[in-house]
Amino acid sequence: MATHLLTRTSDIGKPAVSPHPEIRLVQARLHEVCGPARRTFAIWLAGQMSGTVLWISPAWEPDRLNPEGMLPWVDPSRFLFVTPRRSEDLLWCMEEALRSGAVPLVVGDIPGLPGLTAVRRMHLAAETGGGLASSPEQAPLGMVLTPGDGGAQGIESRWHMAPMHKDRAQRWRLERRRARTQPQKAWTMTREQGVQLELTPVRA
């Protein structure tokens, strides 16, 4: 019986989504985003990419993305929403979408942490989907949005985002808490009316 292993070569030179010079999410991998503003991070990242976004969330969760709130970040018409009725179908849908390579960004807005086996399966599915893409730059990127401080094992990187709005300016604290090839780091993200989003490193 053949054993399938994840590719362990360096990430340098691999296709990645990079909305900021110091922020890089490698494609054909699964990443985790946690914190109160985790959905904002996913929407922001989607706005830095092109193509369809597949957003998977439980049918029993009442919260849904607001198209008007999404508009400053991304065109809501790019999103396809899938709402499985069974918890076991959430990660299955993610895995199949990543394996197909049909969409560049697959987001799983899930109520708990995925197990290590599920994470490994999604890494492998994303690698398979990348092989089916028309070019390496079209390889799919997987993202799980997890509650609290996250903590999924085996993910490529973990990000935490929380609001810290002040006066009329919208502000967030973005932290890179784990990455295989990058150090931990934090930024302050600021958006004011009529001003492009800015990221400022937080000094240790």
For 168-199, what is each residue's pLDDT tens digit? Answer: 789 999 999 999 888 999 999 998 765 678 89
pLDDT by residue (tens digit) across 33-58? 999 999 999 999 999 999 999 999 99
With beta carbons less than 8 A apart as the criterion, state whether 66 and 6 touch. no
What is the mean pLDDT of the segment spanning 122-143?
A: 92
Q: Where would I find the beta strands (DSSP E) of 63-203?
A: 79-82, 105-109, 141-145, 157-163, 170-179, 185-191, 198-201
Q: What does CATH list as the number for 18-159?
A: 3.40.50.300
Q: What is the mean pLDDT of the chain?
A: 90
- State percent of the chain over pLDDT 70: 92
Structure-block tokens of residue 146:
């997890």
Residue 156 has pLDDT above 70, yes or no: yes
Does position 134 have pLDDT exceeding 80, yes or no? no
Q: What is the mean pLDDT of residues 118-124?
A: 98
Q: For the residues 78-82, what does the mean pLDDT come to?
A: 97
Contact 123, 6 (CB under 8 A): yes
Model confidence at 5: pLDDT above 50 = no
Q: What does the DSSP 8-state code read for residue 166?
A: B
Query: Can you say whether residue 132 is alpha, beta or left, with left for phi > 0 and alpha for psi between -120 and 50 degrees?
Result: alpha
**Element containing residue 34 per DSSP (H, E):** strand 30-34
Provide the residue type at 132 as one letter.
L
**Between helices 116-132 and 88-100, what is the axis angle to 10°?**
20
Contact 169, 192 (CB under 8 A): yes
Q: What are the residues whose beta carbons fall under 8 Å from the beta carbon of 71, sequence distance 6 or more? A: none
Question: Once rounded to an integer, what is the mean pLDDT over residues 79-87?
Answer: 95
What pLDDT does residue 7 have? Answer: 43
Report pLDDT for 14. 82
CA distances from 188 to 12, 111, 159 (A): 26, 27, 13
